[in-house]
Structure 1
Amino acid sequence: MSTPTTVDRALRAALYDDTDAGLDTGASLLAADSAADGELARRGQEFVAAAWRRGWQPADVVRLVRRELDEVHVRLVSQLILGEAGQRPAPTPRWAAQLKELDELDDEPQRGPDRFSHATAVLELYRLLLRLPALEPLDEPRPSAALRQPESRMLTRIRALLAKAEATGYPEEAEALSAKAQELMARHSIDEALLAARTHAGDAPGACRIGVDPPYETAKAVLLDAVAAANRCRAVWHDALGFSTVVGFEPDLEAVELLYTSLLVQATAAMTKAEAAQRKGGRKRTKTFRQSFLAAYAHRIGDRLRAAAEEAEGQVTGGEGELLPVLAARDVAVTDRMEEMFPDTVTTRLRGVSDAAGWEQGAAAADRAQVTGRPRLP
């Protein structure tokens, strides 16, 4: 039987004992033996690889580490993920995009702590990685029948429209830009659905995870659910892990990611402005105001997104008889995939919505960010 290494003894002391004493013992062992650094990093990469086998993806792990620990742990886990990724190609394009984002963050200069503090942080991170639960694996959707470049011109245009909507200080301009973006998204989805049907392509629903960060996670999850439903997707919220899993066809998943992110930025900006006006009037119920604001925003924007999607479908000419059965079949496929992944889901009730002014202001903000249909773009 081989003699336990310093890393073996440190991990045994720290990872299977939740006390500070075990953590201190393990960190002391590692701090005293610089020759153990390489093996410690390799063990960390093994923990990361084990997370992949349990259904996690790079962005999921980083999101949970940021939620549960500190920025030093985020840097550590990013380095481990990138180190492990260098040993094999990325399994999917979405995975590759997550690695690219981490690589860009990792270029930032870092200031290293003393050896004991560093070892403590490493062991705290490994404790978390060791206890990651198994997740539903995300099957990457098969490539669409449409020929794609790394970033299609349509998606580039949609991104630009939403970026302008987030940046403008004029509600009417934000409304027009968001409306144009939603119309392009709906048309893009319909075009790809029809093309897949005509070419008998084997498209199938996939899934992605989108972060739902504190505070006011429930209201944000409701907003994401509304965006997903309007774009022919289904969303399941994992409140304990800080994300929602969205199931749908790839063009629709892309639309949900883009639109949810943009609407959340717009809602937050509008909420901050409305809250400042309320506080000038002597109101101090900040938490209930914000919760009610976001709840109303999610409720109203959902109605408008659904209306925009229905109008976009109605604007398709020359293929009405073909479109409805194609979209119905895709809806069934998405529902079946969602129920296969999550056979036991429960409905969450939105609580804490008791501020009438917050609700009214949130509904008004959703009206300003409305995505009702517009005449078809050339």
Structure 2
Amino acid sequence: MSTPRTVDRAFEAALYDTSDDALDTAASLLAADPAADADLLARGEEFVATAWRRGWQPADLVRIVRRELDDVHVRLVAALIRSRAPHDGPRGPRWAAQLDAVPHPAPPRTDRFSHATAVLELYRLLLRLPVLEPLEQPSAPRRAARPESRALARIRALLAKAEATGYPEEAEALSAKAQELMARHSVDEALLAAGAPAPDAPGACRVGVEPPYEQAKAVLLDAVADANHCRAVWNESLGFTTVIGFEADLEAVELLYTSLLVQAETAMTKAEAGQRAGGRKRTKTFRQSFLAAYAHRAGTRLRAAAEAATAASAAAGAAAEADLLPVLASREAAVADRAEHMFPQTTTTRLRGAADAAGWTEGTRAADAARVGRRRPLE
């Protein structure tokens, strides 16, 4: 029996027939032929290469496998991604960072039949991945990795303090200060890019929106993106939002969204404990409403902080307002054009499950604790 023929027979039996009987038959064929292992691995690398051609990236692949399957499948796809990486060539700093984040788990100890079953389940998923919108424009120059700026380092430090503190008002104040710094950093980047020989172009990234309460989290991410001169398009079925913007702004959105989500969940847990102490048991509706209110109010305050910081930068002489506003307007138009090109057809959806009055009140209170006006810088 030839090894390629074993893999072909297994694929014919299982990949295009989703029944359990077909899966067992194919796994038995593979388990009985150890010589087929190398070809089975090579076929998996081909599936990964096809996913890249369809617009997927390493973080996307790990996320969808974790979302749809189990830990064993995450370990398998991580091994495939790492095995494929030397053949892919350089694809920019964001891709390299995603590869670095791919887990390095030790191979599980299992019998050949169970291993073959898991591999086939993974390949079934990879075979059916849809085509995604490409994140990089073919004509755009490849960006080289840059050392982290002092502004971003300080922003990270502020957000780390916000996540660590046990005082909601302090957390909100630190987050608001981080947003102000992000807005000023964005202005500086815009002015530098405007004077560069080759004008910068907007890019895009995908940010996972994990269950539960995905809709409220997607609203929060949209608010953060809007406050930082970006556009956000949520793909509910695949569990991510595509954010379109200039690189410095994309970095800001990823940082701030992750931090605000940690802070929101911490505040929500405390508020929920108070509700339970009063005899309340409707946890799901309370949490959904809390996060929805938090996202709504946080968005309002983030936009106000960003606008104030931008105005302060102009007034302080970072650039004359007559020079700054056209640059920002040009970048806003470039982001809007890129978003329209990537997603010519989008729909809106109504936020569901946010009818709990107590949850909405507590979520608004948690987001509204921030003092986002002008104040002494936080050290």
Report the TM-score, using the length of structure 2 for normalisation: 0.94
Question: Does 1:326 find its partner at 2:327?
Answer: yes
Taking the aligned partners of 1:321 and 1:376, their CA distance within structure 2 comes to 27
- Contact 1:179/1:373 (CA < 8 Å) preserved in 2? no
Letter in 1 for 2:261: L
Question: Does 1:314 find its partner at 2:311?
Answer: yes
SS of residue in 2 equivalent to 1:40:
helix
- Contact 2:290/2:359 (CA < 8 Å) preserved in 1? yes
Letter in 2 for 1:336: D
Q: Deviations over 1:265-304 (max 9, x none)?
A: 0000110110111011011111110010000000000000
Q: Deviations over 1:129-162 (max 9, x none)?
A: 0000000000167578xx9733222222211211
Taking the aligned partners of 1:212 and 1:47, their CA distance within structure 2 comes to 25
Identify the residue that residue 37 of structure 2 maps to in structure 1: 37
SS of residue in 1 equivalent to 2:193:
helix
Identify the residue that residue 211 of structure 2 maps to in structure 1: 214
Letter in 1 for 2:9: R
Question: Does 1:338 find its partner at 2:335?
Answer: no
Taking the aligned partners of 1:10 and 1:373, their CA distance within structure 2 comes to 66
Identify the residue that residue 353 of structure 2 maps to in structure 1: 352
- Contact 1:143/1:203 (CA < 8 Å) preserved in 2? no
Taking the aligned partners of 1:95 and 1:262, their CA distance within structure 2 comes to 22
- Contact 1:48/1:81 (CA < 8 Å) preserved in 2? yes
Identify the residue that residue 120 of structure 2 maps to in structure 1: 123
Identify the residue that residue 161 of structure 1 maps to in structure 2: 158
How far is the alpha carbon of 1:89 from its aligned partner? 2.4
Letter in 2 for 1:85: A
Taking the aligned partners of 2:361 and 2:179, their CA distance within structure 1 comes to 24
SS of residue in 1 equivalent to 2:87:
coil
Question: Does 1:15 find its partner at 2:12?
Answer: no
Taking the aligned partners of 2:90 and 2:374, their CA distance within structure 1 comes to 39
Identify the residue that residue 241 of structure 1 maps to in structure 2: 238
Taking the aligned partners of 1:75 and 1:56, their CA distance within structure 2 comes to 18
Gapped regions of structure 1 (runs ≥ 5): none
Report the TM-score, using the length of structure 1 for normalisation: 0.94
Letter in 2 for 1:65: V
Q: Deviations over 1:144-186 (max 9, x none)?
A: 8xx9733222222211211111011012321232122111111
How far is the alpha carbon of 1:11 from its aligned partner? 1.0
* 2:288 pairs with one of 261, 272, 291: 291
Q: Deviations over 1:92-113 (max 9, x none)?
A: 21000000011xx21x434321
1:1-378 matches, within 5 Å, as: 5-102=5-102, 105-106=103-104, 108-139=105-136, 149-316=146-313, 317-318=316-317, 319-369=320-370, 371-375=372-376
Indicate how the Cα distance of structure 1 residues 328 and 303 shifts in structure 2: closer, same or farther if over 3 A, else same.
Answer: same
How far is the alpha carbon of 1:36 from its aligned partner? 0.9
Bigger Cα displacement from structure 2, 82-91 vs 364-373: 364-373
Number of residue pairs matched by the alignment: 372
- Contact 2:209/2:241 (CA < 8 Å) preserved in 1? yes
Q: RMSD over aligned Cα, in angstroms? A: 1.9
How far is the alpha carbon of 1:377 from its aligned partner? 7.9
Taking the aligned partners of 2:110 and 2:186, their CA distance within structure 1 comes to 49
Taking the aligned partners of 2:145 and 2:87, their CA distance within structure 1 comes to 28
State, as a whole percentage, how many aligned pairs show the same letter. Answer: 72
SS of residue in 2 equivalent to 1:315:
helix
- Contact 2:92/2:142 (CA < 8 Å) preserved in 1? no
